[in-house]
Amino acid sequence: MKHTWLALLAVLVNACASLSTPEPAVRISNVSQGLARIESSGEWKIYTEGSNFTLQVNGNCVADGKTNPCMWYAVAFDYSADADITILTCKATFSEPTDVVTPRGVTALKAREDTGEVELRGRTGRAFWQGYSIPDGDTKPNTTSVTCEHNGKSVLSYAFTIAEQPNRTVERDARKSGARPSP
């Protein structure tokens, strides 16, 4: 009887352990992030990896229907999933109030966070998510932290910080007019 009880106890412990730690339905690996551009082949590429950048124009983008000079950046990763279509819920948190703008329009003004869903197609693949920052004269560093979940479990987290350099021409013009430049 003692051996049966130990064997039964071992089965119950293993069953509880396997129930409490199921594998996520999507696995993410080989995450990279940094400045991005379109190569001559037409493919997007991260050309400088990192997570902390001074805003420098590296292309043009369409924001709210208008073409603007901007800085492109991206995050890329490999994934494998248990389904043909996997939905991730991603939440971006901003250290400073941030205007969230898409090519089609403004989705939020002075937001502290933004949440959306992203679809991964196929059971395996490489995702490449690009975004952009448009110079606006605010020189405070802004950190964006992103966490993506699937079925309530975090499967991807990354962050990046962008700081805009002071615009000396704007500061000179402000001093001439008697206005004080912002710190």
For the segment 2-33, what is each residue's pLDDT rounded down to a tens digit?
Answer: 333 333 333 333 444 444 455 569 999 999 99
| pLDDT at residue 183 in the model | 39
At residue 2, the 3 state secondary structure works out as helix
Count helices and strands (H / E) in the chain. 2, 10
pLDDT at position 22: 57
- In the β-sheet with 85-101, what is the strand arrangement from edge to edge? 52-54, 153-163, 142-150, 85-101, 106-121
pLDDT < 70: residue spans in the chain:
1-24, 167-183
Q: What pLDDT does residue 167 have? A: 64
Supply the CATH classification number for the domain 23-177.
2.70.50
Instruction: Name the pTM for this structure.
Output: 0.76
In this prediction, residue 175 carries a pLDDT of 41
| CA atoms within a 13 Å half-sphere pointing along the CA-CB vector of 76 | 18
